[in-house]
Amino acid sequence: MGDDRAIDVETYGPWALIVGGSEGVGAACARRLASQGFNLVLTARKPAPLEALARELIATGVEVRHGSIDLSRPDALERTRALTDDIDVGLLLYIAGANQTRGEFFDLDSAVFRSVIAITVTGQTEFAHHYGGLMRQRGRGGIVLAGSLSSFLGAATLASYTAAKAFSRIFSESLWAECQAMNIDVLHVVVGYTDTPAMRRLGLDTRRAQSPESAAAEIAASIRDGPLLFLGGEPNLAIATTRSRLSDRGTLIRTAATPRREDISQASAN
């Protein structure tokens, strides 16, 4: 499928909400949607890149609302609704959820895994419930929920993250099945190794990673074709297929799981 398919503003507009919309894939999706005539609501935790992107997009002629919102807090949906309750949001892209803190589960502060669960499990569920319910009332819309290639197999130092991403994937598939009769498209995006500011801040070599612009183009081309999109195509599909084998999971975890961050950094240096 070609990357030039636009997301139809008549079907999914006039407003799109991008949760995690200040950098990386979220920002690339925002630019793409703005170029196609969508008005945008952007939320993210860091205010500076959020405000810079909002100014950039407003200069193109679209309306933009934005708010610095911490998705790990219980008032995240309430604060987002303050930006959206008076407008018609026909497209939800929940792109937030990159992993920032890794470590052995028993060594991590409980705030780490509570944040992971709040952002990826509770957050995706609550936002999909609220905005999807409004889409059902209007008879059309789209929901895009971001997951991870790591969700197909448990991995050391990523216990809560891989589990939360697995929830996201199964939740998305279930929602897709329910929404078929409602004219609401649901797409779960399996994100692989992507060249984002978050990855670069971790010191990882992203020269061979997929660009955010390429990821955004794939999402635009595939929103009608849920429930799953493997960004990066066949190579990442092959990894997920290998990780999905049901026999001898212990050996599989030892040989095919997402590597520890220090192993990734060492491999990048070689």
Cα Rg of the chain (Å, integer): 18
Dihedral sign for Cα 45, 48, 53, 59, please: positive
Structure tokens at 102: 């890794």
> According to the model, what pLDDT value does residue 222 have?
96
**pLDDT at 264 exceeding the cut of 60:** no
Alpha carbon 66 to chain centroid, angstroms: 18
Tell me if 144 sits within 8 A of 189, measured CB to CB.
yes
> Locate tokens 């950094």: which residue?
265
| 102 residue type, one letter | R
Task: Identify the CATH homologous superfamily for domain 9-269.
Answer: NAD(P)-binding Rossmann-like Domain (3.40.50.720)
**pLDDT at 115 exceeding the cut of 80:** yes
Distance of alpha carbon 170 from alpha carbon 130, whole angstroms: 19
pLDDT digits (tens, 9 = 90+) for 44-81: 999 999 999 999 999 999 999 999 999 999 999 999 99
pLDDT digits (tens, 9 = 90+) for 120-144: 999 999 999 999 999 999 999 999 9
Dihedral sign for Cα 238, 240, 242, 244, please: negative
Q: Where are the domains of the chain?
A: 9-269
Whole-model pTM: value is 0.92
